[in-house]
Structure 1
Amino acid sequence: MTFDPTTLRRDDYGFFGPDSPSWKVWTAPTAVIGFQRAVTLEHFDPFLTAAVADTGKIYSEPRHRLDATFAYFLIVAIGDSRTAIQASEHLMTVHAENTGIEPISGQRYSANSPETQLWIHITGWHSVLEAYEMFGPGLTPEEEARYWQECRIAAELQTCKPEKVPVTREGVREYYANVRARLCTSERAQDGMRQLLFTSPRHGAGWTYALGARLLSFASIATLPRWMRKLGQFDRPGSVDLLVRPAARVLVWLFSLFDKAGLIMAAPIIAPMAGQILEQHRKAEPPTRLETVTPAAARELYGRRGHRTVPAAS
Structure 2
Amino acid sequence: MTTQTERPQFNAPVRKIREVDYGFFGPDSPTWRVWTAPTAVLGFQRSVTLEHFDPDLTAAVADVGGIYSDPRGRLDHTFAYFLIAAVGDSRMAVESAEHLMKVHAKATGIEPITGKRYSANNPDSQLWIHVTGWHSVLKCYEMFGPGPLSPAEERRYWAECVVAAELQTCKPSDVPTSRAEVREYFAAVRPRLCSSERAHRAMHYLLHTPMEKGVRLWGGSRLIAPAVIATLPKWMRETGGFDQPGLVDAGIRPAAKLAIAALGGDSAKLRTLRSAIGPMTARLYREHLEAGIPENPVTVTPAEARARYGSAGRRASRSA
Per the normalisation by structure 1, the TM-score is 0.94
Which residue in the other structure is 1:148 paired with?
A: 158
Which residue in the other structure is 2:63 paired with?
A: 54
Is 2:254 the counterpart of 1:246? Answer: yes
Q: For residues 183 and 74 of structure 2, what CA distance do their matches in structure 1 show?
A: 27
Is 2:306 the counterpart of 1:299? Answer: yes
Question: How far did residue 2 of structure 1 move?
Answer: 2.1
Which residue in the other structure is 1:230 paired with?
A: 238
Which residue in the other structure is 1:290 paired with?
A: 297
Give yes or no for contact 1:31–1:263 (8 Å, CA) kept in 2. no
192-201 or 20-29: bigger deviation: 192-201
Question: How far did residue 235 of structure 1 move?
Answer: 2.4
Q: Could you list the runs of 5+ residues in structure 1 that have no partner in the other structure?
A: 310-314
Q: For residues 50 and 72 of structure 2, what CA distance do their matches in structure 1 show?
A: 16
Quote the RMSD (CA, aligned, Å).
Answer: 1.3
Which residue in the other structure is 1:209 paired with?
A: 217
Which residue in the other structure is 2:142 paired with?
A: 133
Select which of 192, 197, 200 maps to 1:187: 197
Give yes or no for contact 2:26–2:87 (8 Å, CA) kept in 1. yes
Question: How far did residue 3 of structure 1 move?
Answer: 2.2
Which residue in the other structure is 1:278 paired with?
A: 285
300-309 or 53-62: bigger deviation: 300-309
Q: For residues 152 and 247 of structure 1, what CA distance do their matches in structure 2 show?
A: 33
Question: How far did residue 218 of structure 1 move?
Answer: 1.4
Per the normalisation by structure 2, the TM-score is 0.93
65-74 or 166-175: bigger deviation: 65-74
Cα deviation digits, residues 85-105 of structure 1 (max 9, x gap): 000000001111111100001
Select which of 263, 274, 282 maps to 1:268: 274
1:4 to 1:159, Cα distance in 2 relative to 1, 3 A: closer
Which residue in the other structure is 1:200 paired with?
A: 210
Give yes or no for contact 2:50–2:132 (8 Å, CA) kept in 1. yes
Question: How far did residue 262 of structure 1 move?
Answer: 4.2
Give yes or no for contact 2:32–2:87 (8 Å, CA) kept in 1. yes
Name the % identity: 58
Question: How far did residue 264 of structure 1 move?
Answer: 2.0
What amino acid is the match of 1:231?
A: T
Question: How far did residue 82 of structure 1 move?
Answer: 0.2
Is 2:73 the counterpart of 1:64? Answer: yes
Which residue in the other structure is 1:162 paired with?
A: 172
Which residue in the other structure is 2:24 paired with?
A: 15
Give yes or no for contact 1:29–1:262 (8 Å, CA) kept in 2. no
Which residue in the other structure is 2:113 paired with?
A: 104
Question: How far did residue 69 of structure 1 move?
Answer: 1.1
Q: For residues 295 and 85 of structure 2, what CA distance do their matches in structure 1 show?
A: 18
Is 2:37 the counterpart of 1:31? Answer: no
Question: How far did residue 254 of structure 1 move?
Answer: 1.2
Give yes or no for contact 1:81–1:298 (8 Å, CA) kept in 2. yes
What amino acid is the match of 1:237?
A: P
Secondary structure of residue in 2 paired with 1:109: strand
Question: How far did residue 6 of structure 1 move?
Answer: 4.9
Q: For residues 264 and 236 of structure 1, what CA distance do their matches in structure 2 show?
A: 30
Question: How far did residue 263 of structure 1 move?
Answer: 2.8
Q: For residues 14 and 186 of structure 2, what CA distance do their matches in structure 1 show?
A: 35
Secondary structure of residue in 1 paired with 2:118: strand
Give yes or no for contact 1:51–1:98 (8 Å, CA) kept in 2. yes
Q: For residues 87 and 3 of structure 1, what CA distance do their matches in structure 2 show?
A: 6
1:262 to 1:31, Cα distance in 2 relative to 1, 3 A: farther
Cα deviation digits, residues 34-56 of structure 1 (max 9, x gap): 00000000000000000111011
What amino acid is the match of 2:260?
A: V
Which residue in the other structure is 1:95 paired with?
A: 104
Which residue in the other structure is 2:6 paired with?
A: none
Is 2:256 the counterpart of 1:219? Answer: no
Number of aligned positions between the proteins: 305
What amino acid is the match of 2:293?
A: P
Secondary structure of residue in 2 paired with 1:180: helix
Q: For residues 189 and 23 of structure 1, what CA distance do their matches in structure 2 show?
A: 31
Q: Could you list the runs of 5+ residues in structure 2 that have no partner in the other structure?
A: 1-9
Secondary structure of residue in 1 paired with 2:38: coil
What amino acid is the match of 1:174?
A: E
What amino acid is the match of 2:53?
A: F
Question: How far did residue 209 of structure 1 move?
Answer: 0.9
Q: For residues 265 and 150 of structure 1, what CA distance do their matches in structure 2 show?
A: 28
Mapping 1:78-93, distance limit 5 Å: 78-93=87-102
Secondary structure of residue in 1 paired with 2:270: helix
Cα deviation digits, residues 228-270 of structure 1 (max 9, x gap): 01111012111101100001001111111x24x5432211112
